[in-house]
């Protein structure tokens, strides 16, 4: 059974058909890239899957259960996590405290008065930092981190809630090429080791073609191609779509 199954998703804004009937699945342990030119409908698709907007038509199923149109809080509780282009970490907390806060929020725990906050979920937080290669930074304020480390911290926080599905909006935006590849390799390792399903948007084609298991290409709200990276790379429609952008297979100029 797929972790995420979307079928016939459609959404119009006034006269603009942002999505015109989109269907795809993401399985456990799979890294699926959703790519396409600006305005293709990627964000609309993400926003439907995490409950921020309701589709006009179509269904969203999570682990076999229909969840179409549920609000974001319910989606989050059912196992949909999301990271945004702009990292959402607390600058004034340490790296470890940020992950502790994410664990506490995920469990809807409150700070027990008789228990110092610093001890709550400390070991699990440390474990998550180890898994994301951030253990050496545990005691540093998040404000001091380099950008690539902020993204790794954000990833540790995102998996703290043990999502079934993680949506990642351009996870490597603003990173240097080597850093981009290191981050997506980490995402892929976590995807495999945790059996996570990851759906990500990405403008860097080196990231997509180097690491995605499958790619879905959207244009004008429709899927124009989907398949493994070799099939997508060779697809004449995809090549035509991206030709003239100055990159081998697309991307923001």
Neighbours of 213 (CB within 10 A): 17
Neighbours of 244 (CB within 10 A): 8
| Separation in Å, CA 12 to CA 15, 56, 94, 130 | 7, 7, 43, 43
Work out whether 13 is an interface residue with ligand ATP (CB under 6 A): yes
30-52 residues labelled b (16+ CB within 10 A) or e (exposed): bbbbbbbbeebbbebbbbbbbbe
Work out whether 48 is an interface residue with ligand ATP (CB under 6 A): no
The maximal CA–CA distance of the chain, rounded, in angstroms, is 64
CB of 197 to ligand ATP, least distance (A): 20
Work out whether 98 is an interface residue with ligand ATP (CB under 6 A): no
Work out whether 18 is an interface residue with ligand ATP (CB under 6 A): yes
Q: Among the candidate windows 34-42, 100-108, 120-128, 138-146, which touches ligand ATP by CB under 6 A?
A: 34-42
Work out whether 86 is an interface residue with ligand ATP (CB under 6 A): no
Work out whether 39 is an interface residue with ligand ATP (CB under 6 A): yes
Nearer to ligand ATP, 38 or 110 (CB): 38
Structure tokens at 92: 């004034």
CB of 97 to ligand ATP, least distance (A): 32
From 42, 82, 137, 180, residue interacting with ligand ATP (rule: CB under 6 A): 42
Work out whether 44 is an interface residue with ligand ATP (CB under 6 A): yes
Tell me if 35 sits within 8 A of 208, measured CB to CB: yes
Structure tokens at 224: 């124009």
From 8, 16, 88, 243, residue interacting with ligand ATP (rule: CB under 6 A): 16
Q: Among the candidate windows 42-50, 156-164, 204-212, 240-248, which touches ligand ATP by CB under 6 A?
A: 42-50
Work out whether 6 is an interface residue with ligand ATP (CB under 6 A): no
Helical segments of the chain, H only: 42-49, 72-78, 95-106, 122-131, 147-160, 177-194, 205-211, 229-234, 236-242
Tell me if 60 sits within 8 A of 67, measured CB to CB: yes
From 33, 41, 102, 167, residue interacting with ligand ATP (rule: CB under 6 A): 41
List, in order, residues 6 or more apart from 120 with CB less than 8 Å away: 100, 103, 104, 109, 111, 112
CB of 169 to ligand ATP, least distance (A): 8
CA–CA separation, 13 vs 221, rounded Å?
A: 12
Work out whether 251 is an interface residue with ligand ATP (CB under 6 A): no
CB of 94 to ligand ATP, least distance (A): 33
Residues that bind ligand ATP (CB under 6 A): 13, 16, 18, 36, 38-44
């Amino acid at each position: 059974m797929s972790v995420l199954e979307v079928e016939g998703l459609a959404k119009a804004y006034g006269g603009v058909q942002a999505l015109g009937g989109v269907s795809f699945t993401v399985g456990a342990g799979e890294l699926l890239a959703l790519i396409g030119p600006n305005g293709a409908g990627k964000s609309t698709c993400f926003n439907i899957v995490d409950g921020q907007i309701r589709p006009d038509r179509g269904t969203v199923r999570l682990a076999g259960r229909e969840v179409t149109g549920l609000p974001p809080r319910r989606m989050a509780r059912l196992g949909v996590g999301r990271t945004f282009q702009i990292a959402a970490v607390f600058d004034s907390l340490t790296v470890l405290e940020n992950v502790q806060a994410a664990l506490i929020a995920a469990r809807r725990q409150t700070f027990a008065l008789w228990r110092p906050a610093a001890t709550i979920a400390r070991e699990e937080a440390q474990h998550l930092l180890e898994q994301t290669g951030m253990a050496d930074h545990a005691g540093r304020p998040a404000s001091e981190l380099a950008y690539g480390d902020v993204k790794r911290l954000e990833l540790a926080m995102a998996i703290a809630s043990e999502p079934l599905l993680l949506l990642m909006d351009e996870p490597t935006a603003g990173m240097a090429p080597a850093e981009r590849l290191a981050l997506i390799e980490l995402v892929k390792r976590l995807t495999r080791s945790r059996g996570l399903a990851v759906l990500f948007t990405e403008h860097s084609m080196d990231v997509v073609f180097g690491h995605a298991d499958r790619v879905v290409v959207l244009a004008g709200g429709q899927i124009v191609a989907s398949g493994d990276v070799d099939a997508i790379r060779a697809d004449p429609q995809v090549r035509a779509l991206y030709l003239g952008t100055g990159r081998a297979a697309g991307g923001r100029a």
